[in-house]
Structure 1
Amino acid sequence: MQENPPSVKDIVKVLYGGKRFGNHVDEVWPNLFIGDMSVANDRYRLWKLGITHVLNAAHGRMHCQGSHDFYGSTVDYYGVPADDSPTFDLSRYFFPSAEYIQNALDTAGGRVLVHCAVGVSRSASLVLAYLMIHHHYTLVEAISQVKECRWIFPNTGFLKQLRALDIELHKTS
């Protein structure tokens, strides 16, 4: 059990550390990728990466119109209609998205792309929640894990929601 989870301000300091540039897509956990809309909209690139599952954290938003029809029968699709706004309640998608990612990774040959428009806030937040829920990472540990591979910067509202998840998951039994 962690004593006092760091404040959002302290978490932001952790986020500012390390690499400050991003690729269009990065593998941040074995067979788990975070990417932006340019990768998500490039079926050939997804095929080259071996992506079998796509979690779109900006479903229905401009330039992020992913669907089962777009990806066809070879890629499983899950859409989360999130706004990249500090007032948006992304937390209601933490557990369903984490389950989707885990089930996809448990599938033989499963490779998952989690994306949003830029691949630093909505998608990163859902991947952080996945690592916290399924791998029992604290929020700071999850951020450190992902930041080894990708620059991420969830908005302050999402950080508050992730911090609340962190507190909930690490309460004493």
Structure 2
Amino acid sequence: MSYWPVGTTSAPPDNSPPSANPFSPTSTSQPSRSASEIIPRLYISDLSFAENPVCLSQYKITHVLSTLPDKVFVPPPSLLPAQPARLQIRVEDFPFAELAAHLPTTTAWITDALTRDPQARVLVHCIEGISRSVSVVAAFLMAQFNWSPSEAIQYIKSKRRIAEPNFGFIQQLHEYGRVSLGRTS
């Protein structure tokens, strides 16, 4: 496995290495698709990017929000001296998996990270950076900018082509808008 020098300032190429953890199920899957900056300092990525100490360091990630049921490899301080703050919500990528109940917590966590420290950089990830992480970031955008689920998802898709939340998560974003944000439409 090859890594890029830590001192480089360019973003890692699309052929970045798979998971830094040799026991991770992602170690044999496709390489990282990299991280997409959705708004300044807020990124979405896949699991292999989130577990890669070089990627985290190059993007100066200070907070990692994991949205998957399995344990995430945390690079040790010897590989990643500046350890990001972490939050994990355990949710499967099934249309009927309970996501809406977590959205107030994830939105508050992202908001807190971005408002407390102007240098904070938040990474939200799931396995592929397509459905769960996109839904969590969409909920944040809905709360932050008073957007509908459709507006939030379309905006994310403009920044991350592969974004495609499952239909159940889209329904739960509407529920989040009604119940937690007090929206009627």
TM superposition score normalised by structure 1: 0.78
The structural deviation recorded for 1:99 is 0.6
Secondary structure of the residue aligned to 2:36 is: strand
Q: Which has the higher contact order (CA 8 A, sep 6+)?
A: 1
Give the Cα–Cα distance (whole angstroms) in 2 for the partners of residues 139 and 68 of structure 1.
Answer: 34
Q: Deviation at 1:30?
A: 1.0
Counterpart pick for 2:120 among 98, 110, 127: 110
Change (3 A) 1:72 1:155: farther
Count of aligned residue pairs for this structure pair: 148
Name the % identity: 31
Counterparts of 1:76 and 1:103, CA distance in 2: 12
SS at match of 1:113: strand
> Tell me, which stretches of 5 or more residues in structure 2 are unaligned?
1-31
2:59 counterpart of 1:46: no
User: Cα offset for 1:132?
Assistant: 0.7
Q: Does 1:93 align with 2:106?
A: no
SS at structure 2 position matched to 1:56: strand
1:167 CA displacement: 3.8
The answer to whether residue 169 in structure 2 is matched with residue 158 in structure 1 is yes
Aligned to 2:17: none
Once residues 32 and 152 of structure 1 are traced to their aligned partners in structure 2, the CA distance between those partners, rounded to angstroms, is 15
Gaps of 5+ in 1: 1-21
Which residue of structure 2 lines up, in the alignment, with residue 128 of structure 1? Answer: 138
In structure 1, what residue type is equivalent to 2:165?
P
**Partner-residue secondary structure (3-state), 2:37:** strand
Equivalent pair of 1:68/1:76 in contact (CA under 8 Å): no
Letter paired with 1:159: I
Q: Sort the Cα spacing of 1:79 and 1:35 in 2 relative to 1 into closer, same or farther, 3 A.
A: same
* Whole-Å separation in 2 of the counterparts to 1:73 and 1:165: 34
Residues 66 and 79 in structure 1, CA contact (< 8 A), matched pair in contact too? no
2:72 is aligned, of 62, 65, 75, to 65
AA matched with 1:130: F
* Superimposed CA distance per residue, residues 69-128 of structure 1 (whole angstroms, 9 cap, x where no aligned partner): 686653100001110011111001101000110111112300000000001111000000
Asked whether the equivalents of residues 135 and 173 of structure 2 are also in contact (C-alpha less than 8 Å), the reply is: yes
Task: Say which SS state the counterpart of residue 120 (structure 1) adopts.
Answer: coil
Alpha-carbon distance in structure 2 between the residues aligned to 1:98 and 1:91: 11
Residues 1:44 and 1:68: Cα distance change in structure 2 (over 3 Å): closer
CA distance in 1, matches of 2:82, 2:57: 12
- Give, in angstroms, the shift of residue 68 of structure 1: 8.8
2:155 to 126, 132, 145: 145
